[in-house]
Each structure stands twice: as structure tokens, then as C-alpha cells.
């Protein structure tokens, strides 16, 4: 299937590793010019080089902290300076640390909201004017199944991430007539560094073995395993494509069947 993405320009946030990296690579393989950002310059440059080699695509690496408004503005400015346009935005940010309500401080909640919700607000604010001029745009938010079905000991994600779904649904309605779609994907536990950190934290707290924790994480997934980053990336690439032109305002679980509700 031709996804109609050749020579489009995409910004993928938090793309030096994990889900963001997988999405950036997936887009690059479809001929997209990809702008990747993350806080760590060295890892980011290494990832950009890897994507160039594997996909033969143009890749611009811009070190940026998506919780900082000035960094977000500079990221979009450098993208437009280099490529002249922005067609796609993939909002993504690392998850806040696992904790419980009693252990989490008020400041922990503020940081989680800045990281997961306000980063999506700021990035979208910067790119939407460019999409409006083009009468074409795709915004895809990488959220979490925790936004649809709260997970134990992830109070910060359970609180901050549903706001992204509310933001996306409202934006999708406001921008639909402008040729801009806004969708979200909600992965369950996926084999990333983030999940490895969560496994290690639970091992330390409970005394379980790593194997026991991994089995526990996969126990609620009907497929019996955690996801792979590329499986999430495939869904994002489709939503960013011409072929998803009549899909907007949706939140899609990419979870091996873990989400239990009908809607």
C-alpha cells in the first residue's frame, strides 16, 4: 500500500530511543524527512545516524526538552528553516516514574502534567499554524493504555495522560475542516527502556525476580506478551498517512487486547 508520505516532513518528539525512535524509523522508511528531538545530544545524534543508514532518509537532530517552551519553539523553527514546512507531529514524552498517590508529592504531579500534557499542548501550538497554511496535517499522540484504563502504581501517568486524549478529541473537532487530523495511540507494556526501569523499580520494591515481574506485566495481555516498539510504530505511520484521511479524534489501544471496555 502506498501511504502517500514521500517527502513529507515530520517532527517526532522524544525520538532518541524507545517508541519515538521506532516511529521515526518507520516514517523514514516511507520517505518522510524526519526531525528527531530529545534532551541528550549524543544519543540523539547516534539515533539520527542510525535512521539515515537504515532508511536512507533525511534526518535532522535537534536537542530539545519538550517541557521547555523556548526549546519547543526553536525545534519547530529549525524544522521550517531546514525543510520549509511541517506536515506531521508525533507528540511523545517519557513517562513519569512509577509511584502511588501516598508516595507522590504535589510537585511530582506538576512535573507529570508538564511532561505528558503541556508538552503536547506546546508542540501542537507551534505546528498547527503551519498545517493551517497548507490545509493538511497529521498529529499523532503517543499516550498510554493508562489514559484509558488506569494501571497500578502509575498514578502520575493515570492522572496526566487522559488530558492528552481530551486535548486531542477537542482539537480534532476544531481542525477537521482544515485538513488536519488528530489521533492518539495508547500502547500497553512495550519492550522499551522505560519498561525496563519499571521492572527494576518493582523488583527493588517487592523482592520479586525480574522474570516474575515481566510475567506479571504480561499476565493481563491476552496475547501473553509485551509489545514491540515496531508494532506501535506501524499504527502511528498509518495514522500519519494519506490512507488515514477519514480517521480523526480516535484513541487506539495498541495493547494485545488488554483494554477491556467496548468503547
Whether the Cβ atoms of residue 259 and residue 192 lie closer than 8 Å to each other: no
Write down the pLDDT at residue 201. Answer: 83
All domains of the chain in start order, with CATH: 9-187+229-245 (3.40.50.720), 190-226 (no CATH)
**pLDDT, tens digit, for every residue of 36-76?**
999 999 999 999 999 999 999 999 999 999 999 999 999 99
At 257, the pLDDT band (50, 70, 90 cuts) reads very high
Write down the pLDDT at residue 132. Answer: 98
Distance CA 95, CA 64 (A): 17
Residue 156 burial (CB count, 10 A): 24
Helices (H), 153-242: 155-175, 193-206, 210-219, 229-239
Write down the pLDDT at residue 199. Answer: 87
Write down the pLDDT at residue 60. Answer: 98
**pLDDT, tens digit, for every residue of 197-238?**
878 888 988 899 988 988 888 998 999 999 999 999 999 999
pLDDT at 196 over 90: no
Amino acid at each position: 500500500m502506498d501511504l502517500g508520505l514521500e517527502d513529507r516532513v515530520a517532527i517526532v518528539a522524544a525520538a532518541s530511543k524507545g517508541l519515538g525512535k521506532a516511529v521515526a524509523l518507520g516514517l523514514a522508511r516511507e520517505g518522510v524527512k524526519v526531525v528527531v528531538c530529545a534532551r541528550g545530544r549524543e544519543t540523539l545524534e547516534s539515533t539520527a545516524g542510525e535512521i539515515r543508514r537504515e532508511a536512507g532518509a533525511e534526518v535532522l537532530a535537534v536537542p530539545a526538552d519538550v517541557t521547555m517552551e523556548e526549546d519547543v519553539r526553536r525545534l519547530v523553527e529549525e524544522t521550517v528553516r531546514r525543510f520549509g514546512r511541517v506536515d506531521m507531529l508525533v507528540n511523545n514524552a517519557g513517562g513519569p516514574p512509577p509511584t502511588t498517590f501516598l508516595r507522590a508529592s504535589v510537585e511530582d504531579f506538576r512535573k507529570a502534567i508538564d511532561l505528558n500534557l503541556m508538552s503536547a499542548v506546546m508542540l501542537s501550538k507551534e505546528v498547527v499554524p503551519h498545517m493551517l497554511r497548507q490545509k493538511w496535517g497529521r498529529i499523532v499522540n503517543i499516550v498510554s493504555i493508562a489514559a484509558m484504563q488506569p494501571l497500578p502504581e502509575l498514578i502520575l501517568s493515570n492522572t496526566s495522560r487522559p488530558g492528552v486524549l481530551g486535548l486531542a478529541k477537542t482539537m480534532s473537532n476544531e481542525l477537521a475542516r482544515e485538513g488536519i487530523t488528530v489521533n492518539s495511540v495508547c500502547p500497553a507494556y512495550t519492550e522499551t527502556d522505560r519498561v525496563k526501569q519499571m521492572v527494576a523499580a518493582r523488583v527493588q520494591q517487592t523482592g520479586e525476580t525480574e522474570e516474575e515481574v515481566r510475567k506479571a506485566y504480561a499476565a493481563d495481555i491476552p496475547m501473553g506478551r509485551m509489545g514491540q516498539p515496531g508494532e506501535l510504530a506501524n499504527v502511528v505511520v498509518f495514522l500519519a498517512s494519506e490512507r488515514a484521511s477519514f480517521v480523526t479524534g480516535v484513541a487506539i489501544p495498541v495493547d494485545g487486547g488488554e483494554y477491556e471496555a467496548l468503547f
